[in-house]
Structure 1
Amino acid sequence: MTKVLKCISPIDGSVYAERPVLSAEQAREAVARANAAQKEWASRPLDERIALVRAGVERVGEMNDEIVPELAHQMGRPVRYGGEFGGFKERAGYMADIAQEALAPIEVSDDGAFKRYIKRVPQGVVLVVAPWNYPYMTAVNTVAPALIAGNAVLLKHATQTLLVGERMAKAFHEAGVPADVFQNVFLDHDTTSDLIASRAFGFVNFTGSVGGGQAMEKAAAGTFTGVGTELGGKDPGYVMEDADLDAAVDTLIDGAMFNSGQCCCGIERIYVHENLYDAFLEKAAAIVNGYKLGNPLDEATTIGPMAHVRFAQEVREQVSEALASGAKALIDPANFPEDDGGAYLMPQILVDVDHSMRVMRDESFGPVVGVMKVSSDEEAVALMNDSSFGLTASLWTKDVERAERVADQIETGTVFMNRCDYLDPALCWTGCKDTGRGGGLSVIGFHNVTRPKSYHLKKAQ
């Protein structure tokens, strides 16, 4: 019996889309077609591959009026925010802009005796396993550089955003990227693991849970297949006593609550200097109380449902446990009667929290943030580092040198000053600890999807 993947819409719990998974034989055939097509694709001039990827990106943009409500149905983001095309285009465009230089051979020597250089050559077939929370932007982080570098790509998207991979593949095919070079595939976990274990791919990029990343690494064990992982975070914000308070509150609370808190680099815990603590809380509560929870298809909605009931339940449990342990909730549930105990979850700010509580340790991935008072940089650094994750940290101060000193002590992949929750495509997107390993975007993003190949050519005398 064929297994079927079903996207359950968080709007009303109905089945929004369903697709049959590929059998093991069909999956192997897809890989074989990708391998066969990759050689010709890699032989094309780099300029041609860049142009076709840019055209594919633009074609996605032309679909945006259909994509935005489709995303609302699949994962609950309000239509008022207009989808992801801005960041999608920015990231892909930057990688296209730097490709010539990033992929250029490293010239060592070319004299009368020897010609020596290092090329970056494609890995072959790249598997991209993408998440549902920012399904277009996270996928393109690897899809664009992988295709530009001459790889074939198989894209496996999360069941919650079942239609995204189809959209991307359709757009890129219509733009001229060969169908076998970029394939959207529907795979179950066992088939995915079996393909990885059989060395079907030259590189695997996975964005998702810690457990999912561990499964990818276990499947690849002993195969020497490269695996890049981005597994979420528990990202802190630190507001120093000289910070622009209004900017800090506006940005950090938005970073905690946007997309219903469903962002790997969203702010999940905030440490505020004691001099600003009370004022910070007053302003933060006012912002959150102004949100409108509701149907994401309604233009008035500012915070939609979480992508699935089980995600909302995890956040409710963390909040309930914290309150039972002495935390205090700043937001009155009466202000959000739309919270139905299912996928629609009210936003919350917690105070009187500490690191014994799961809400300050485990990834929440929802619209809740804990706020703690601190009295020094040393205290804030210790608390920020007291986490099993390390994706980003956000520092708020007018003193760049102080921010750099503090940043040097934080165990994280990216440090922001006076901003948060943003991927700069010129900088490497990376993490440490349980956030995973590897690096996407920037020049380094091309390193994962290529391998170095050395040429040592002795000239005839």
Structure 2
Amino acid sequence: MPIATVNPATGETVRTFEPMGAEAVERCLDDAVRAFAAYRTTGFAERAELLLRAADLLEADNEDIARTMTEEMGKPLAAARAEAAKCVKAMRWYAANAESLLADEVPDPADVRDSGAASVRTRYRPLGVVLAVMPWNFPLWQVMRFAAPALMAGNTGLLKHASNVPQTALYLDGLFERAGYPRGCFQTLLIGSGGVEAVLRDPRVAAATLTGSEPAGRAVAAAAGDEVKKTVLELGGSDPFVVMPSADLERAVRTAVTARVQNNGQSCIAAKRFIVHADVYDGFAERFRAAMAALSVGDPMLEGTDVGPLATEKGRADLEELVDDAVAAGAEVLCGGRRPPGLERGWYYEPTVLAGITPGMRIDQEETFGPVATLYRVADLDEAVERANHTPFGLSSNVWTRSEEDVDRFVRDLEAGGIYVNGMTASHPALPFGGVKRSGYGRELSGHGIREFCNVTTVWQAAD
């Protein structure tokens, strides 16, 4: 796959980049190891000062980097600005909280009295060089939610970004350099996907994190497992959005639209399967259809655009295959289901709502990475839970109800890493993020995320 910026709104190649050769990759690995040897000994105050400096620079660069992201992967410009601002928030949060999150833990003396120690504590120490394999859909945020905690923990990072967002990748490389980080603390590897395994298997790399597709996650996990290296995987999602009879229907519909088309529908935590109780199904379905059909599709650089193009031509083709397969098997198209007329140059697809989904359709089990929603009618709470869990994924979920009995049941039984009640799933620096089943393992963000790439060390000390 070429390393190039191809504007998805026009299909035009904007810039191309030569991938790094073996010698350049080798230099990066050596620099990362040398940087870690010194950087690991710095204190939290020094690390926080560097990260805050980077946050200030990113805040000042908001408009420029937002336009770069929109040019590279097509998200609406307003969403790109918000993504950059969210990164700044996370950087400042980790700068303020890393020291307390990684403070030594001292057990109750009564619990360890028979251990023979005069003192015992648990210390979180950095692992070393961490390889991050990151996707294009949130090209700044996905990286920063790894980089901010990893750097505050004392690790150094190597970024292998998606090949269609090279300008964003190089911006990140320069951002940390401008902030004053020592050479080698954070570096972008401008390489194709075929070069990932060699870097991952290199003994200088201690661990890896990947956000991306299930096949990519399997490949990284297999190689890392062979080398006995720690990994964190955040993979796909087919999140349920469950609407029960007691729900505030107007709020649920408004949120459902945003939850489905955020980032042009290309989000692992976007709500994708809308599971609605029969008592309110007709009302929800009509309001949802009308709101989706009313969205503005067009140039993502224009302020009034709700939905821009898909990021890649292949991504649109894959989405079309899923819709066409469902329609051929009997699904009903309530709105959309085609390329919008008048937007032939880019990789656009209309916001789409499908009903009448049955188990034999591919779309029932595969992730729809684009503005396509599937509607399901269920008879009761039991069927709602069963339908919500009827997926190989388990990233997050949304439930809409005023019944505490419903909430208790969903919290007990939904197979997901997150359950959002009467609100939309969103990542936040202080909240753990990740999934179960084929959505991956491990957690990003919060204290859980910063500890993923730490050596949890027991320090046992005898009396003099």
Smaller-chain TM-score range? Answer: over 0.9
Aligned to 2:77: 79
Match status 1:31 vs 2:29: yes
Out of 111, 128, 131, the position equivalent to 1:127 is 131
8 Å CA contact 2:338, 2:350 repeated in 1: no
Out of 288, 309, 313, the position equivalent to 2:313 is 309
Where 1:176 maps in the other structure, the secondary structure is coil
Pairs within 5 Å for 1:108-187: 108=107, 114-187=118-191
8 Å CA contact 1:322, 1:358 repeated in 2: yes
What amino acid is the match of 2:78?
R
8 Å CA contact 1:313, 1:342 repeated in 2: no
Where 1:127 maps in the other structure, the secondary structure is strand
| Partners of 1:145 and 1:425 in 2: CA distance | 10
The normalised TM-score by structure 2 is 0.94
Aligned to 1:11: 9
Aligned to 1:247: 251
Of stretches 326-335 and 110-119 in structure 1, the one that deviates more from structure 2 is 110-119
The normalised TM-score by structure 1 is 0.95
The unaligned stretches of length 5 or more in structure 1 are none
Of stretches 165-174 and 261-270 in structure 1, the one that deviates more from structure 2 is 165-174
Aligned to 2:212: 208
Where 2:427 maps in the other structure, the secondary structure is coil
8 Å CA contact 1:46, 1:148 repeated in 2: yes
Match status 1:325 vs 2:329: yes
| Partners of 1:184 and 1:306 in 2: CA distance | 25
Deviation sequence 1:287-315 (CA, Å, 0-9, x none)? 11221111112223221100011101111
Pairs within 5 Å for 1:303-382: 303-331=307-335, 336-338=340-342, 340=344, 343-382=347-386
Out of 420, 425, 433, the position equivalent to 1:421 is 425
Q: 1:85 to 1:401 in 2, by over 3 A?
A: farther
| Partners of 2:369 and 2:336 in 1: CA distance | 21
Q: List structure 1 segments (4+ residues) > 6 angstroms apart after TM superposition.
A: 110-113
The unaligned stretches of length 5 or more in structure 2 are none
CA RMSD after TM alignment: 2.0
Where 1:170 maps in the other structure, the secondary structure is helix
Aligned to 1:237: 241
| Partners of 2:235 and 2:229 in 1: CA distance | 18
| Partners of 2:37 and 2:119 in 1: CA distance | 25
Cα deviation for residue 355 of structure 1 reads: 2.6
What amino acid is the match of 1:57?
A
Cα deviation for residue 199 of structure 1 reads: 2.6
Of stretches 170-179 and 414-423 in structure 1, the one that deviates more from structure 2 is 170-179
Cα deviation for residue 335 of structure 1 reads: 10
Of stretches 273-282 and 292-301 in structure 1, the one that deviates more from structure 2 is 292-301
Match status 1:386 vs 2:385: no
Deviation sequence 1:304-328 (CA, Å, 0-9, x none)? 1000111011111111111111111
Q: Count residues with an aligned counterpart.
A: 458
Aligned to 2:286: 282
8 Å CA contact 1:37, 1:181 repeated in 2: yes
| Partners of 1:205 and 1:249 in 2: CA distance | 35
Deviation sequence 1:338-391 (CA, Å, 0-9, x none)? 453961111100111123211221011111001111111110111111101110
| Partners of 2:372 and 2:385 in 1: CA distance | 22
8 Å CA contact 2:70, 2:300 repeated in 1: yes
Of stretches 275-284 and 387-396 in structure 1, the one that deviates more from structure 2 is 275-284
What amino acid is the match of 2:368?
S
Where 2:430 maps in the other structure, the secondary structure is coil
Percent same amino acid at aligned positions? 29
| Partners of 1:231 and 1:335 in 2: CA distance | 27
8 Å CA contact 2:323, 2:337 repeated in 1: no
8 Å CA contact 2:433, 2:443 repeated in 1: yes
Where 2:125 maps in the other structure, the secondary structure is strand
Cα deviation for residue 178 of structure 1 reads: 1.8
Match status 1:91 vs 2:95: no
What amino acid is the match of 1:100?
E
Q: 1:221 to 1:82 in 2, by over 3 A?
A: closer
| Partners of 1:155 and 1:307 in 2: CA distance | 20
Out of 442, 447, 457, the position equivalent to 1:453 is 457
Of stretches 284-293 and 102-111 in structure 1, the one that deviates more from structure 2 is 102-111
Aligned to 2:266: 262
Cα deviation for residue 167 of structure 1 reads: 1.4
Aligned to 1:436: 440
8 Å CA contact 1:361, 1:387 repeated in 2: yes
Of stretches 111-120 and 95-104 in structure 1, the one that deviates more from structure 2 is 111-120
Cα deviation for residue 235 of structure 1 reads: 0.7
8 Å CA contact 2:126, 2:153 repeated in 1: yes
Q: 1:322 to 1:419 in 2, by over 3 A?
A: same
Out of 40, 45, 65, the position equivalent to 2:38 is 40
Cα deviation for residue 63 of structure 1 reads: 0.9
| Partners of 1:388 and 1:338 in 2: CA distance | 37
Of stretches 131-140 and 15-24 in structure 1, the one that deviates more from structure 2 is 15-24
Cα deviation for residue 286 of structure 1 reads: 1.8
What amino acid is the match of 1:48?
E
8 Å CA contact 2:124, 2:454 repeated in 1: yes
Deviation sequence 1:211-258 (CA, Å, 0-9, x none)? 101110122133211011111101111000000001111111211112
Of stretches 182-191 and 87-96 in structure 1, the one that deviates more from structure 2 is 87-96
| Partners of 1:188 and 1:394 in 2: CA distance | 36
Q: 1:113 to 1:360 in 2, by over 3 A?
A: closer
What amino acid is the match of 1:88?
C
| Partners of 1:196 and 1:310 in 2: CA distance | 27
| Partners of 2:432 and 2:25 in 1: CA distance | 32
8 Å CA contact 1:338, 1:344 repeated in 2: no
Q: 1:430 to 1:372 in 2, by over 3 A?
A: same
Where 1:429 maps in the other structure, the secondary structure is coil
Cα deviation for residue 457 of structure 1 reads: 2.2
